[in-house]
Amino acid sequence: MSVNGVIFQYFEWYLEDNGTLWKRLKDDASHLKEIGITSVWIPPCFKATGTNDTGYGVYDVYDLGEFDQKGSIRTKYGTKEELHQAINALHEKGLNIYADVVLNHKAGADGTDKFIAIEVDPNDRKTPVSDPYEIEGWVRFDFNARNNKYSDFKWRWEHFNGTDFDNISGKKAIFRIIGENKNWSEDVSLEFGNYDYLMFANVDYMHPNVQKEVLKWISWFVKETHVDGLRFDAVKHINSHFMKMLLTHLHNEFGNTFYAVGEYWESNKLAIDSYLRTINYQMDMFDVVLHYNFYKASLEGKNFDMRKIFDDTLVKQHPSLSVTFVNNHDSQIGQSLESNVKRWFMPLAYGLILLRADGFPCIFYGDYYGLTIKESMSPIRDEIYKLLHIRQNNAYGNQIDYFDDKNLIGWVRLGNEEHPNGCAIVMTNGNPGIKKMNVGQMHHGEIWVDKMRNIENPVLIDEQGNGIFKVMGGSISVYSHQLI
């Protein structure tokens, strides 16, 4: 991560199915660089069940928009050539690209196999609710249009350990596939007794041929796309020992600077701690607890104690491994994990991730550019733009917290040799207020102004380096030296 680096998540769930995202990203490279973005997280770029699929219903990971499969050559976002052009444009501006990788399951099978399976209780996947019997599942992946290019591996029933549909009876259920050395992985989330199974045909990472093929693919994918890192989807459902093997493989082949971040959607910090230990701390994690703290604060208003905003968070426990975020595609309206932070609190939340010393902040496309669904809240592009500018120019050096009031909190960044101006941040989820903070004696006599332009009156820094900083109700202000 570069100094004061920022990730931009360049997609949202409901983007139109018009194949233009890669073109748009290419054209946006200069703007992203200019506003202070250092890395771009792109959506799953391989062929899914159709062009209307956001990419998480993954079909063929070797098809990046090159073969006529699932009704089109392009993916939802464009063709392979357009993907390469976007990546090249970002690299020319010095930006890193992190690709979204979906390893947990496969969808849109080409055909069926018959095999023995057992139904399990969806609320306790370790508990059978039937005797073993033969079912017919959609688990054959032949990729005929690709015709063995890049890989001749064909997926069959033995490469999976679960599915959700019996083609013979038409029954929908969670089926655990029975076979030699075949069971749910034990190295997954313990939710629902065992959370190996999430959806579609569930990949069996205890199968040696599966391990070999996926390691082969990940090497191919990184070399083919020239991405600088990967975002791993749904890692709580994937065998953690295989993930450790995969991460070791990546770092051995591409170096320790190759970036990795995992999505483990869990609000229990003990589960995250355990997972990080298992994978030997080889990748960052999204700070889901912090997101839920933001969501709760946005719902409760002045009843939320702002002094507790970082309680139980990853950024507090493992600051160097935390990717902090406000909203993302999973928290959007209509999603199973819907938890969209309310608009009034979003500028405060972005201040809390962009202007602090710890964490690798991630900006959500929808919060900056807006969402496709018309009834969704309007974006806060102007506020994010200002906060990014402050992060680039002022948010450096030692951090002094003033978390001494239930509603009105603040902190100071003292600056460093290269960026000496520093900044003072004050925010409240209640009434307007003031907070006295010390920005350092070296700033005495300076006039500081609110870079967010919410407060008009300037602040004079006294001989001891103190300033009296004002903030409007339910708002954030960020003060720094008024340069002539």
> How high does pLDDT run on average in the chain?
96
The mean pLDDT value for 136-155 works out to 98
User: Does residue 2 fall inside a structural domain?
Assistant: no
Assess whether 334 and 217 both reside in one domain.
yes
Assess whether 314 and 430 both reside in one domain.
no
The mean pLDDT value for 78-107 works out to 98
> Which candidate in 233, 266, 367, 450 is catalytic?
233
- What percentage of the chain has pLDDT greater than the value 70? 99
pLDDT tops 60 at residue 150: yes
At 161, give phi and psi (nearest 5°). Answer: -120, 5
The mean pLDDT value for 56-78 works out to 98
Strand partners, 466: 438
User: Does residue 264 fall inside a structural domain?
Assistant: yes
Q: Tokens 């953690």 label which residue? A: 240
Q: Which residues contact 415 (CB under 8 A, 6 or more apart)?
A: 394, 396, 397, 421, 422, 423, 440
Q: Which residues contact 343 (CB under 8 A, 6 or more apart)?
A: 377, 378, 380
Assess whether 419 and 435 both reside in one domain.
yes
Residue 223 sits in a domain whose CATH number is 3.20.20.80
Q: Examine the fold and report which residue of 393, 417, 441 is the final residue of a domain before the chain moves on.
A: 393
pLDDT tops 80 at residue 1: no
The mean pLDDT value for 418-442 works out to 96
Assess whether 66 and 143 both reside in one domain.
no
Rounded CA separation 399/422 (Å): 10
Assess whether 229 and 313 both reside in one domain.
yes
The mean pLDDT value for 271-286 works out to 95
What is the pLDDT, as a whole number, of residue 317? 94
Assess whether 368 and 450 both reside in one domain.
no
Assess whether 246 and 98 both reside in one domain.
yes
Q: Which structural domain range is residue 452 located in?
A: 399-481
**E strand segments, 191-320:** 201-203, 229-232, 259-262, 284-286
The CA–CA distances, whole Å, from 43 to 57, 227, 298, 439 equal 12, 13, 27, 41
Residue 130: enclosing H or E segment and its boundaries?
none
At 104, give phi and psi (nearest 5°). Answer: -70, -35
pLDDT tops 90 at residue 333: no
Burial class (CB in 10 A: 0-12, 13-18, 19+), 320: exposed
Q: Examine the fold and report which residue of 350, 373, 393 is the final residue of a domain before the chain moves on.
A: 393
At 7, give phi and psi (nearest 5°). Answer: -90, 140
At 136, give phi and psi (nearest 5°). Answer: -120, 115
What is the pLDDT, as a whole number, of residue 376? 62
312 is known as an active-site residue: no
263 is known as an active-site residue: yes
Sequence letter at residue 342: K
What is the pLDDT, as a whole number, of residue 337? 86
User: Does residue 465 fall inside a structural domain?
Assistant: yes
Under a CB-based contact definition with an 8 Å cutoff, are residues 259 and 96 in contact?
A: yes
pTM above 0.85, yes or no: yes
Angle separating helix axes 381-393 and 21-35, nearest 10 degrees? 50
Rounded CA separation 228/214 (Å): 18
Q: Tokens 């109700």 label which residue? A: 473
pLDDT tops 70 at residue 274: yes
What is the SS3 assignment for 379? coil
Assess whether 221 and 317 both reside in one domain.
yes
Q: Given phi > 0 = left and psi -120 to 50 = alpha, else beta, which region is 60? A: beta
Specify the number of domains making up the chain. Answer: 3
User: Does residue 144 fall inside a structural domain?
Assistant: yes
Residue 156 sits in a domain whose CATH number is 2.40.30.140
Under a CB-based contact definition with an 8 Å cutoff, are residues 111 and 102 in contact?
A: no
User: Does residue 44 fall inside a structural domain?
Assistant: yes
Assess whether 100 and 110 both reside in one domain.
no
Q: Which of 246, 256, 257, 259 is nearest to 219 (CA)?
A: 246
User: Does residue 1 fall inside a structural domain?
Assistant: no
What is the pLDDT, as a whole number, of residue 139? 98
User: Does residue 14 fall inside a structural domain?
Assistant: yes
The mean pLDDT value for 46-53 works out to 97
Sequence letter at residue 211: Q
> Which candidate in 263, 287, 330, 367 is catalytic?
263
pLDDT tops 90 at residue 95: yes
- Residue 3 binned pLDDT confidence (cut-offs 50, 70, 90): confident
User: Does residue 429 fall inside a structural domain?
Assistant: yes
Strand partners, 400: 412
Rounded CA separation 77/45 (Å): 7
Assess whether 133 and 261 both reside in one domain.
no
Rounded CA separation 193/225 (Å): 38
pLDDT tops 60 at residue 375: no
Q: Tokens 């039937």 label which residue? A: 130
Assess whether 453 and 405 both reside in one domain.
yes
Residue 430 sits in a domain whose CATH number is 2.60.40.1180
What is the pLDDT, as a whole number, of residue 136? 98
Assess whether 12 and 58 both reside in one domain.
yes
Q: Examine the fold and report which residue of 338, 370, 393 is the final residue of a domain before the chain moves on.
A: 393
Strand partners, 145: none
